[in-house]
Structure 1
């Protein structure tokens, strides 16, 4: 948890909560941030990657769980689930009640049950049953492998200590470290918008109804599907050139991340990228005009001839 930003009171700000430059709303979950978590396969509490660990989720069912469990909450590490159970007011006390507008007054179940799953099989936008017209991100989990339950948080302190002792820091590449750092800061003027944009560029833009998600209208109508096409079908050189030319730190990092994870994308992101294969033609990045650079298909040739680049210098002007 040391990498997490803290609010003015010194409390760690977990990955899914809404935040702005001036304040953090611990009672509000950001769909924008959930989208980034799903795309990069990060934990909803600590905002770090899962690796081979189980994905833990609060479950409401009693008895044996079905083979497929769907939840509107993003999954977490086991140690993060145990941490949340001790610090979240709603999970901590059997007498607690929710205070948000949609579920105000809802009392916590007498027994809280967490289940650990082998994989997040799919992530999709779904219209909320509590708020018609509002779409939220839902996570489909499969392969239950473990679980724990409790009435009072004190019952799980020993398990928390054991999980904490087993924790090992996973190696993180330089480009993913940039994305994690940007995602967890508080001073970006929004709810992790820079990394949400990077998630859309990595392939989340191809997910069905994704721009219907609460809070994503600000991204609709922009060039994210086009940029995602570059990161989906561009060559390695085109992707690297696109990232190098970007003025946005998150976009500069997401290109190398896509190349680094090729063939090993998180399941949800791979599904979105597969859907995108039939939605875009081969991508080609728009780069600044100049010697040795390719230019947009219908742009004027940088040689100054006045002709279109594809007619005059289709291969670009050699450097020098």
Structure 2
């Protein structure tokens, strides 16, 4: 497969924090990764869930703020009022960069390399649309594969678009957008989550930022634990922790975060407190659903290691890490 010469396409400032693979390509936020290999042909549903909960771009992994959410669309002519896609949205500058570097996007002669789509080529014309809001995110069962659920994004308020056959046609637009690129305001707590999310290896103990997204309120989304890749999170205490971050007092949330030795769980509580009243719309919808699912008297977190949980078992706080590493002294029950 032919690759665009990545070194002649300027990297947007907001992508410079991304890790790179052995060839020097930035590892975008939505793909599976490991310490020795990155699968650019994959789309991780676990990582998409974190993107949806924290309102992050699927390329650079940073927040949208007031910028449009861009999505590749396949319809011709006017788009409906609501557009649903199985891919997470991106910033315009990230979409334009990817269109010039991604082997699939930059040339109409590009072929899809996976076995399921072997021999298929890219559409002659690629169309991107920019939307004002991500209205909802939900787990959707595949019509072709019963029992297989993937995350879908509903966007509304189309405000702009661009299309191209050859990547050279959007070069001028990219230069203009790059010139007016703005710094994205990232708080200290969100910066911790972004840093952890960008790692190529999290120690092999699960996606800790996905766990933090569940704790922030994604655990209340309908059918969320049926998503591909979330089986490892089932049967744990994420709904309980999410309930604490939903209805707990500020002191309870801060005490829980301070007690956790997992960085993602230590950061997500303060993040919830600082974003109160301004949550991303999909996350706010999930948290509103949780209001009817969580009793007013929040159940206590389970006892920690040294009591009912073995040190090498998953920590009952729901972080996804082993109890001996997350809460070595246990979680005190009242």
* Segment of structure 1 superposing worse, 289-298 or 29-38: 289-298
Please give the per-residue CA displacement for 1:41-90, whole angstroms capped at 9, x wherever unaligned. Answer: 00000000000000000000000000010000100000001011111111
8 Å contact from structure 1 (residues 20, 191) kept in 2: no
1:193-247 residue CA offsets vs partner (Å, 9 max, x unmatched): 0100000000000000001111000001100000000000001110001100111
Give 1:109 deviation, angstroms: 1.1
Residues 73 and 94 (structure 1), Cα distance of their counterparts in 2 relative to 1, 3 Å cut: same
Distance in 2, matches of 1:180 and 1:31, equals 17
Write the distance in 2 (CA, Å) between the matches of 1:306 and 1:14.
Answer: 23
Q: 1:74 to 1:144 in 2, by over 3 A?
A: same
**TM-fit CA distance, 1:133:** 2.5
> Equivalent residue of 1:102, what SS?
helix
**How far apart, in 1, do the equivalents of 2:327 and 2:181 lie?**
56
Whether the 8 Å CA contact 2:138–2:153 is kept in 1: the answer is: yes
- Tell me which residue corresponds to 2:195: 181
Secondary structure at 1:138's aligned position in 2?
A: strand
Quote the RMSD (CA, aligned, Å).
Answer: 6.7
What is the SS of the residue equivalent to 1:58?
Answer: strand
Aligned residues: 320
Distance 1:304 1:209 in 2: 18
In the alignment, structure 2 segments of 5+ residues that lack a partner are 1-14
Stretch of structure 1 that moved more, 166-175 or 34-43: 166-175
Q: Which runs of 5+ in 1 are unaligned?
A: none
SS of corresponding position for 2:97: helix
Among 254, 270, 281, which residue is 2:295 paired with?
281
Q: What are the Cα deviations for residues 100-122 of structure 1, in whole angstroms up to 9, with x where unaligned?
A: 34433332111100000000000
Alignment TM-score, normalising by the size of structure 2: 0.84
Equivalent residue of 1:91, what SS?
Answer: coil
**Mean alpha-carbon deviation: is it higher for 68-77 or for 84-93?**
84-93
| Aligned-pair CA distance for 1:300 | 23
CA distance in 1, matches of 2:237, 2:318: 28
Structure 1 residue 96, shift from structure 2 partner: 1.5
Contact 1:134–1:213 under 8 Å retained in 2? yes
Higher gyration radius (CA): 1
**Paired residue secondary structure (2:283):** helix
Cα offset, 1:297, TM superposition = 23
Change (3 A) 1:312 1:224: closer
SS at 1:92 equivalent: coil
Q: Deviations over 1:12-62 (max 9, x none)?
A: 100001012321101101000000000000000000000000000000000
